[in-house]
A and B are shown apart, each in its own frame.
Chain A
Amino acid sequence: MNEHQQTLWEFMQQQSDKLLTQTLQHIGLTFISLFIAVLIGLPLGIFITRKKQFSGAVLGVAGILQTVPSIALLGFMIPLLGIGAKPAIVALLLYALLPIIRNTFTGITGVDPAVKEAATAMGMSKWQVLFKVELPLAMPVIFAGIRTATVITVGVATLASYIAAGGLGEFIFGGISLNNTNMILAGAIPAALLAIVFDFLLSRLQKLNIKKLKTATVVLPLLLILLSSFYLLPSAYGSKLKAGFTPEFMGRQDGNLGLIGKYGLKIQTLVINDAVMYKAAYEKQLDVISGYSTDGRLKAYDLVVLDDDKFIFPPYYAAPIVREDALKKFPELEVTLNLLSGKINDSIMTALNYRTDYLHQSPERVAKDFLEANKLYKPARNGNAGTVRIGSKIFGEQYILASMYSMLIKGYTDYDASTKTGLGGTKICFDALTNNQIDFYPEYTGTGLLAILQPSPKTIDSLTHSKDETYNYVQKEFESKYSIKWLKPIGFNNAYAIMMRRKQAKDLNIKTISNLKRYLESK
Chain B
Amino acid sequence: MIKVQRLSKHFGKVKAVDEISFEVAEHENLIILGTSGCGKTTTLKMINRLIEPTAGKIFIDGKNILEQSSEILRRGIGYVLQNNGLFPHYTVAENIAIVPQLLKWDKKRIEKRVDELMEKLHLTKDYLNVYPNELSGGQQQRIGLARALVADPAVLLMDEPFGALDNVTRSKIHAEFKALDELKRKTIIMVTHDVQEAFELGDHICLMDQGKIVQDGTPADLLFNPKNSFVRGFLQEQKLQLEFKTIKLAQAPRPPKGGVKKEAVKKGISISADVSFWSALEHFKFDGVDELNIIDKENNESWTANFEELMSAFYQYKKQQTHE
Contacts and interface: CB of A to CB of B under 8 A. Distances in A.
Question: Is the pairing of A and B real?
Answer: yes
A115 B71 contact: no
Contact of A137 (B71, B77, B89): B89
Contacts of B48: 121
B139 interface: no
Contacts of B79: 118, 121-122
Contacts of B85: 112, 114-115, 117-119, 121
Nearest to A133: B87
Interface string B57-88: 00000000000000111111101011111111
Interface string A115-146: 10111111111001000010011000000000
Contacts of A189: none
B47 to A, nearest CB: 11
B86 A122 contact: no
B102 interface: yes
Residue with the greatest number of chain A CB neighbours at <10 A, chosen from B50, B72, B76, B79: B79
Given A123-B71, A124-B102, A118 B50 contact: no
B102 A118 contact: no
A112 B83 CA distance: 10
Most buried by B among A114, A121, A125, A210: A121
Contacts of A125: 71
A128 B48 CA distance: 18
Contact of B89 (A117, A123, A128, A136): A136
Contacts of A123: 71-76, 99, 102
Interface residues of B, number: 24
A118 B74 contact: no
A441 B44 CA distance: 80
A122 B99 contact: yes
Majority secondary structure, A binding face: helix
Contacts of B131: 210
A122 B89 contact: no
B98 interface: yes
Given A114-B81, A114-B83, A120 B89 contact: no
Nearest to B83: A114
Given A123-B71, A124-B71, A125-B71, A118 B99 contact: no
Interface in B18-45: none
Nearest to A210: B89
Contact of B81 (A117, A133, A136): A117
A122 B81 contact: no
A115 B88 contact: yes
Interface string B133-173: 00000000000000100000000000000000000000000
Contact of A120 (B50, B87, B99): B50
A210 to B, nearest CB: 4
A137 B85 CA distance: 13
B284 to A, nearest CB: 43
B18 to A, nearest CB: 24
A120 B50 CA distance: 8
Chain A CB within 10 Å — which of B82, B83, B131, B147 has the most?
B83
A121 B83 contact: no
Contacts of B83: 114
Contact of B102 (A115, A117, A122, A210): A122
B50 A122 contact: no
Contacts of B82: 114
Contacts of A121: 48, 50, 74, 77, 79, 81, 85
Interface string B256-298: 0000000000000000000000000000000000000000000
A120 B73 CA distance: 11
B132 to A, nearest CB: 10
A122 B74 contact: yes
Contact of A115 (B50, B86, B99, B147): B86
Contacts of A115: 85-88
A119 B50 CA distance: 11
Interface in A162-182: none
B224 to A, nearest CB: 37
A133 B83 CA distance: 17
Contacts of A137: 87-89
Contacts of A124: 71, 98, 102
A112 B89 CA distance: 12
Contacts of A133: 87
Nearest to B150: A122
Contacts of B81: 114, 117-118, 121
A479 to B, nearest CB: 73
B237 to A, nearest CB: 30
Interface in B174-198: none
A136 B87 CA distance: 10
Contacts of B74: 120-123
B312 to A, nearest CB: 50
Interface string B114-139: 00000000000000000100000000
10 contacts: A112-B88, A115-B86, A115-B88, A117-B85, A118-B79, A119-B98, A121-B48, A121-B50, A123-B73, A124-B98
Given A120-B50, A122-B98, 17 more contacts: A114-B81, A114-B82, A114-B83, A115-B85, A115-B87, A118-B79, A118-B85, A118-B86, A122-B74, A122-B79, A122-B102, A124-B71, A124-B98, A124-B102, A125-B71, A137-B88, A210-B89
List the 9 closest pairs (A to B, CB-CB), nearest first. A118-B85, A123-B75, A123-B74, A121-B79, A114-B85, A210-B89, A114-B83, A123-B71, A136-B89
Interface of B: 48, 50, 71-77, 79, 81-89, 98-99, 102, 131, 147
